[in-house]
Amino acid sequence: MNIRIFTAIAALGCILSVSCHPYNESANKKPIQKTPPKTVTTPEQQKVQEERDRMKAQEEAKKKEEMKNATPETAGPNTPSGDTPKPPIEEKRTDYAVANKVPGKDGFVFSPYNNKVVDVRDIPKGTLVQDPTYTGAGKGYFRVP
């Protein structure tokens, strides 16, 4: 009886110790060599691309030349020499759907996602609102008409 219990405990210990070590799945796989995608272009497209590349190189050379020739007087009083002022960063604005008004009921709109009625009383026009009836993976936002 003791031998069976000892054997079961030893087997259980072996199984647990083996299960703690990760299995190397990539050991048996051969490395896959990725070939670059081949693009088929006509001679006209190649000429257009070469022209674009040439124009880009000219613009970059012109910018470098302007940077070399820039003096502190032309750069402005507050900018250090060689640095150009940075344009302001614009926020990316995503356009949201606009709800449709419910005819005959002020302050109620149809959701643009599922056409259910949503109460938007006392919410100003153009305000971004989250749809409480939206059941999709993301949050359904729309603007009040």
> 15 in a domain, yes or no?
no
C-alpha separations of 56 from 49, 66, 88 in Å: 11, 15, 24
Q: pTM of the entire structure?
A: 0.36
Same domain, 100 and 68: no
> 51 in a domain, yes or no?
yes
Same domain, 100 and 142: yes
Looking at the structure of the chain, the number of domains it has is 2
> 123 in a domain, yes or no?
yes
Cα 145 from Cα 138, distance rounded (Å): 22
pLDDT averaged over every residue in the chain: 80
Cα 125 from Cα 109, distance rounded (Å): 12
Structure tokens at 53: 């590349």
Least confident of 29-38, 42-51, 93-102: 29-38
Closest CA to 112 of 135, 142, 144, 145: 142
> 110 in a domain, yes or no?
yes
Question: Residue 62 carries which side chain, given as an amino acid letter?
Answer: K
> 23 in a domain, yes or no?
no
- The residue among 99 and 33 whose pLDDT is bigger is 99
Same domain, 145 and 99: yes
At residue 2, the pLDDT reads 82
- The residue among 67 and 89 whose pLDDT is bigger is 67
Q: Determine the structural domain holding residue 58 and report its residue range.
A: 43-75
Q: How many CA atoms lie within 13 A of 7 on its CB side?
A: 4
Same domain, 109 and 63: no
The answer to whether residue 72 scores a pLDDT higher than 90 is no
Cα 104 from Cα 10, distance rounded (Å): 78
Same domain, 110 and 144: yes
> 33 in a domain, yes or no?
no
At residue 88, the pLDDT reads 73
Same domain, 69 and 107: no
